[in-house]
């Protein structure tokens, strides 16, 4: 059996699975990533052709709706820029679709900011008790914290949590946090502000 025959056979079978039907309906196709590994792939709309890959932990297409899926966002020239892990195919698709939409402005910066902000909120919630996290959201909605400061600093070293979120999300092409980099400073501040406004303030 040739590679193309194998690829078509595996692809057709995968598209008919429960995972595949969800992915295909969301506009994802199947791509070969090398070495017999496959992923679900989607390219951003617009002129800036960033693309997303989704695969299971074995670098395959996945067989269960609720299992760990690895997600990645790549620049048009193929550099991996963002990555994360999601607990289901639906969550993986939602994350990738949101990041791809954010690249339609012509760069990966907005997607980077929002991905780091989302991961920071997740890491912070895991670090603290439910009561502490709720208190952060309550305090952030008050006048005392209305000028950009965040109550997360009252309960932990939130800068460390943010740095961990950055290092988990950002691939080597962006690199670890560099305090001397103006680009990193801008992304850091925007991610913090985004997390506070979207995830860390009481409705």
Distance between CA atoms of residues 191 and 185, nearest Å: 10
Alpha-carbon Rg for the chain, nearest whole angstrom, is 19
Question: Where does the pLDDT of residue 172 fall: very low under 50, low under 70, confident under 90, or very high at 90 and above?
Answer: low
Q: Is 60 helix (H, G, I), strand (E, B) or coil?
A: coil
Phi then psi for residue 47, to 5 deg, are -75, -30
Q: 81-123, pLDDT tens digit by residue?
A: 888 999 999 999 999 999 999 888 777 888 889 999 999 999 9
The Cα 187–Cα 182 span in angstroms is: 9
The pTM (predicted TM-score) of the whole model is: 0.79
Q: Tens digit of pLDDT for each residue in 43-76?
A: 998 788 899 999 999 989 999 999 999 999 998 8
Quick one: pLDDT at residue 173? 64
pLDDT for the residue numbered 109: 86
Q: Which two tokens stand for residue 14?
A: 């995968």
Q: Is-contact 26 88, C-beta < 8 A?
A: no
- Find all residues with CB under 8 Å of 68, minimum gap 6, and list them: 56, 57, 85, 86, 87
Q: For the chain, what percent of residues have pLDDT higher than 70?
A: 98
């Amino acid at each position: 059996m040739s590679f193309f025959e194998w690829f078509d056979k595996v692809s057709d079978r995968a598209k008919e699975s429960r995972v595949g039907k969800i992915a295909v309906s969301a506009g994802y196709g199947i791509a070969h990533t090398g070495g017999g590994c496959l992923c679900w792939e989607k390219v951003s709309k617009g002129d800036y052709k960033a693309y997303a890959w989704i695969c299971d932990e074995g670098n395959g297409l996945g067989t269960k709706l609720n299992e760990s899926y690895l997600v990645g966002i790549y620049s048009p020239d193929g550099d991996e820029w963002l990555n994360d892990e999601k607990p289901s195919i639906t969550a993986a698709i939602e994350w990738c679709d949101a990041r791809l939409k954010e690249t339609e402005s012509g760069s990966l910066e907005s997607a980077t900011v929002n991905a780091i902000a989302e991961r920071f909120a997740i890491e912070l919630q895991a670090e603290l008790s439910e009561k502490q996290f709720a208190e952060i959201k309550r305090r952030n909605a008050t006048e005392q914290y209305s000028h950009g400061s965040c109550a997360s600093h009252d309960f932990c070293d939130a800068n460390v949590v943010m740095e961990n979120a950055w290092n988990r999300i950002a691939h080597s092409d962006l690199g670890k946090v560099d305090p001397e980099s103006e680009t990193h400073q801008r992304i850091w501040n925007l991610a913090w502000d985004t997390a506070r406004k979207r995830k860390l303030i009481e409705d």
